[in-house]
Amino acid sequence: MRYLAPVLTRLLSIVLALALVAAGVVVLVEVSAALQGSGRVIVSQPTIDELGGRRWDDGVVVATLIGLAVLGLAAVVAGLWPRPPLLLASSGAAPTVAVERRSLEQVVGDELRGVEGVTDATVRAGRTRMSVRVDANRRLAPSDLDDQVRRVVSGQLTRSGLVLDTTVRVRRRPLGDERGRS
């Protein structure tokens, strides 16, 4: 179930999104046709008359409502289903370490924000890679800051016993431009 849940979640999301898009297109086309004074375009009048004549206790109506309720409940469960920890390969002969992606991203980001010259840091971790973007507004040379950031990231990964390919990008911001900070 651990590997099946993300696939089912994505499939359910795609199906629901396509159904909502299709319903939106039908409504948009029908409303546009009604505003222009032309007849029905997608949904025929006999279909509307037939649906309008149905009662709430009709078998088809009850089955449709139950189906929609089950699909909605499945969407809620899939959205709230906890993601398993991201398994990252550890260095050396130690066993594989289970690390939560967000925890790793927060720890590395917090440590990077403590580096002199760094105003903000964004860290994204995957199974084999880590992407780090650092905003700097000090007058340090980008190569010096890049080296410091790489040392901090590699030190944190070493302490955690993790091996990840790391991409570091340093963006310089003018002094006083601290976007995202309040």
Residue-wise pLDDT tens digits, 30-40: 888 888 988 88
Q: Where are the domains of the chain?
A: 4-80, 87-172
> For the segment 94-145, what is each residue's pLDDT rounded down to a tens digit?
566 677 788 889 999 999 999 888 889 999 988 788 999 998 876 666 677 8
Q: How many CA atoms lie within 13 A of 1 on its CB side?
A: 4
Band (pLDDT 50/70/90 cuts) for residue 182 is very low
Least confident of 48-57, 72-81, 82-91: 82-91
- Which pLDDT score is estimated for 83? 67
Q: Which fold has domain 87-172?
A: GMP Synthetase; Chain A, domain 3 (3.30.300)
Q: Check: pTM over 0.75? Answer yes or no.
A: no
Q: Where are the alpha helices (DSSP H) in the chain?
A: 4-36, 45-52, 59-80, 101-113, 142-160
Q: Write phi, then psi, for 105 (nearest 5 degrees).
A: -60, -40
